[in-house]
Amino acid sequence: MHSKRTKVIFVRPKKFYRPKELEGILPMSQKALLQNAFLCGALYRVRGRKLINLETIRIFLEKVGNLSEEIGGKYCQVKDASVYLGVNEEQAMQIASDAGALFKVRNMLLIDKEKLVSFMGNFRFEVKFFDIDDIEEQAKIERRLKNYVL
């Protein structure tokens, strides 16, 4: 009599998926999935195939959200913020950092537009325009009046 040998097979979930396979798992288009995977560093190329690390992209999506859709709307790059503020890029980064709107995704610095605009709104001040001719005329009148005052 032969005793049956049983093979123990450890099954673990896949770590890397093709973009088409992840479309069913994550609720976004293939293009948005590839963009987010690139932003968080979860995109790999192996023998011409694109593979995405599921754990890395899930952590990224939990923390940041679907950033590929928001780059055009909610976030801007430092050079765009510097043009908006009328300062150089270093100063724009400092202002955004003070506002709590600056963050780094891989090698890209992004600025949250809403936070930056609300921070800059705190520094609004009223500008009054003066007419130099009127001021000089008023000064002449006051000097003449001083001569007539006893």
45-80 CB burial, b ≥16 within 10 A, e <16: eeeeebbbbbebbeebbeebeebbeeeeeebbebee
> So where are the chain's domains?
12-68, 71-122
Q: Among 11-25, 32-46, 90-104, 118-132, which is the least confidently predicted range?
A: 118-132
Residues 71-122, CATH architecture: Orthogonal Bundle (1.10)
| pLDDT tens-digit map of 12-70 | 677 888 888 888 788 788 888 888 887 778 888 888 889 888 888 888 777 777 666 55
